[in-house]
Structures are given as structure tokens and as C-alpha cells.
Chains A and B, each alone.
Chain A
Amino acid sequence: VQLVESGGASVQPGRSLRLSCTASGFTFDDYGMNWVRQAPGKGLEWVSVINWNSVSIDYANSVKGRFTISRDNAKNSMYLQMNSLGPEDTALYYCVRDMLRAPGAFDVWGQGTMVTVSS
């Protein structure tokens, strides 16, 4: 069971970035998936969730209207389109799986991809 994130980069404020997460070792379309971020030296912040068939989607207030979560079950992949990035979005972004028996608890985490927003 593995989650691998990619797409992190250093960008200027106001720019966009798209993160990807590729899953392996489990039946991807059985699970809800999330993005959770962690600013350097700080705690964890849940960012967004998408259910198995993309019908149910939710965002943290801090990213609502700027970030868009999506998934492609045929490719075992999830994405996070991030627009209008600001310094407050600088963080390590984790791809995280919902626990099947306790949706909303996160039982599998990737190693993260770093996003740095700076001029």
C-alpha cells in the first residue's frame, strides 16, 4: 500500500501549481482521499477531501475557491489544482487515504511534496 505525491515546486505568489498523487497496493476507487498540509515546523492542516466517485468534495475555508481536488480512478490518481497561491500555502502536502471503517481518519499517508510560495 503506497501513496506517492509529485508536483511540488517553488513558485511566485499568484501563480498556480498542480499536485498529483498516485496510489498502489489497494483498490483505489474503494476509498475517499484527502490532501493534508504541514507548514515548516508547524502542525497539520486538513485541506480537502474527495469521495470514491467524486460526488462528494469538501475544502478547508483557507483554500476554498482557490484549490480544486479531483481524481481519476482509471489511473489510480488524485490531483490538487492550486491557484492564486500565497506565502501562507507554503507547506509539505500529503496525500492521505480515508480509513474504510472510519472515514475521516487517515490510515495511509504519502511522504509529501513540498510547495514553496515566495517572491
Chain B
Amino acid sequence: EIVLTQSPDTLSLSPGERATLSCRASQSVSSTHLAWYQQKPGQAPRLLIYGASNRATGIPDRFSGSGSGTDFTLAINKLEPEDFAVYYCQQYGFSPKTFGLGTKVEIK
């Protein structure tokens, strides 16, 4: 199965700063099959990005995704208070679908 390694484990930033989250796959993943999710405490995950770079419905444009092959990035421009959460990448090109272990973006 494809292993997704997210880094860093935790990112400590202040509101207004830019966050850059990394997701590295153990083998090449089609860029059309890479997604990012946000999860806040006590809530279900929310789809942010699909196809590596396409924002899901209602997602603000401060969220952007990029990458190809084995290296993907989620960037969050000008962090808002509601952006502090855990972020997961997921590949859905191969079975089993797999998630990374997550990156926690916390308030510095």
C-alpha cells in the first residue's frame, strides 16, 4: 500500500502567517488522486482540496494545493483563527486508499 508521510508533525504559527504542509508518497501518485482534509477537535474531517490543486466547494482561496509524483504541498495564506486544526493528505488512486498521519497547525 502507498504510505503517505506528512511533515512537520506540528506547525506553530501566528494568525496572519503562511503555513506550508508537506505530504510525501512512498510511490508516485497521480496528481488527480491526491486530496487534503481539515479536521477540528470533535468534528468530522472536511474536504479542502481534491486532484492535488482543486479547491472543494466553499473552501476559501487562501487554501491552495500543489505537487505531483511523490511530493505534494498544502499552503494556507494568512492564517485565520479558524484554520488552526489538523490536516490530512489522502491518496485515492490506488487501493487501499490511504491517509497521512496528519499535521497539526497550532497557534504559536
Q: Measuring CB to CB, which residues of chain A are less than 8 angstroms from any residue of chain B?
A: 43-46, 49, 58, 60-61, 94, 99, 101-107, 109-112
Apart from A43-B101, A44-B45, A46-B96: 20 A-B pairs, beta carbons within 8 A: A43-B100, A43-B102, A44-B102, A60-B96, A61-B96, A94-B45, A99-B56, A101-B50, A102-B51, A102-B54, A102-B92, A104-B93, A105-B35, A105-B92, A106-B37, A106-B47, A106-B90, A107-B47, A107-B50, A107-B56
- State the CA gap A81–B35 with chains docked (Å): 28
Closest to B42 in A: A111
B92 near A111 with CB under 8 A, answer no
- Please indicate the chain B residues that have their CB under 8 angstroms from the CB of A45 in the complex: 99
- Size of chain B's interface in residues, with CB distance under 8 A? 26
Tell yes or no: B88 within 8 A of A by CB: yes
| 0/1 string, B60-72, CB within 8 A of A gives 1 | 0000000000000
Q: Are B44 and A109 in contact (CB under 8 A)?
A: yes
**The 8 nearest A-B residue pairs measured at CB:** A104-B92, A109-B44, A105-B50, A46-B97, A44-B99, A105-B35, A102-B50, A43-B101
CB proximity of B83 to chain A, nearest CB, Å: 19
- Give the CA-CA distance A110 to B44 in the complex, in Å: 7
Most-contacted residue by chain A among B44, B47, B56 (CB, 10 A): B44
Assembled-state Cα–Cα distance A49/B97 (Å): 10
